[in-house]
Each structure stands twice: as structure tokens, then as C-alpha cells.
Amino acid sequence: MDMKLKDLLEEKKSTILTKWFDAIIETYPPDTSNFLKNKKDRFANPMGHIFTQGIEKILEALIEEGDLALGLPFLDDIIKVRAVQDFTPSKAMSFIFALKNVVRKELEKEIRQSQLSDALLAFELRIDDLALLAFDKYLKCREQIYKLKTDELKRTSFTFLKKANLMSEIPIEEFERRDEE
């Protein structure tokens, strides 16, 4: 990464993080976003805490040009939160792309004056790579959620059938195996 862009990102990191957090919060309904913005206690607002910590580590990984996997534990936490919420996949992943807009707006003058367009493009390509990793994580989380729901439905069905004396001789494990065949 161009050192000038890296220095600018480091210098404006706090502002970028605040605006990125605000962009994420705007994806929620007004009552939820107000709660997430105003509750600072990590125990009263665990989601806000996950976002705040996560985006800071993700931005650091992007700036340092290190392995994006270093920011993945924090990305995983955010993705898990977004995966269980009632978002479309595109809306769930939109928080990553919001960083591009935040950086462009925050560094607009400096990018133009210092002719950092190529460096910015390289930085944005790293954001795109991060988005692809995030989407893979999101799909795995959603698959796990669907599997848990399916397993719960199987257990519930088995329990109802057993209570109705329609399935008293077959253990649940065999019931599940028969269903998978």
C-alpha cells in the first residue's frame, strides 16, 4: 500500500471507524439503531461491542496489508450476528462495502490532491477480498442455522409421533437415519 494512503488511514482511523459504525447501525430499524448507538456498556449492548471491536481489528488488518485471516475472528463474530438476523444476504454483507464509501468521503480531498487513486483502488480491492471471505462465512453460518432448525423439527416431529403412540418402538437416531435416506 502506498505509504501516503496508509498514513492518511492511520491518521483518520478514529473518524473512519465512527462513520463506519454509524453506517452499519443505519442498516437496522430506528429503535434498534438508537439502542446500539447510545448504549456503551458491553454487557448491556453486546452487539454494539462486537461491531465496535470487530471493525477496528478488520480496519487494522486492511491497513497493515497483512493476512486478512488475522481480522477473521472479528469478522466471524460480526457475520454470526448478521446471519441470525432477518437480513437478506446482500444487506447482511453491505457493512463491508460501506467502508469504501466512508474512506472515499473522509479522504476525498487528500486523494485528489495527492493523486492516490491507484492506492485507493488497491485498498478497495482488499475490501472486496474481505467481502468474499465474509460471504463464505455468512453462507456457512446460514447453513448451520438451517441444519439446527431441521434437526429441531425432526426432534419435535418424533416427540409428537411418540406421544401419539405412533412411533414408540423406533429410537430417534433410527428415525433421523431413515429421514436422511
Mind listing the pLDDT tens digit for each residue in 167-181? 555 565 665 666 565
| Distance from C-alpha of 166 to C-alpha of 107, rounded to nearest angstrom | 68
Nearest-5° Cα angle at 97, 95 to 103: 105
Q: Is the pLDDT of residue 70 over 60?
A: yes
129: nearest Cα among 61, 51, 77: 61
Residue ranges covered by each domain of the chain: 3-141
Mind listing the pLDDT tens digit for each residue in 122-158? 999 999 999 999 999 999 999 998 898 888 888 887 7
Global confidence as pTM: 0.78
Residue type at 126? R
CB within 8 A of 12, min separation 6: which ones?
106, 107
56: nearest Cα among 89, 26, 24: 24
Residues 155 and 172 sit within 8 Å (Cβ to Cβ) = yes
Mind listing the pLDDT tens digit for each residue in 75-129? 999 999 999 998 899 999 999 999 999 999 999 999 889 889 899 999 999 999 9
pLDDT band (50, 70, 90) for residue 72: confident
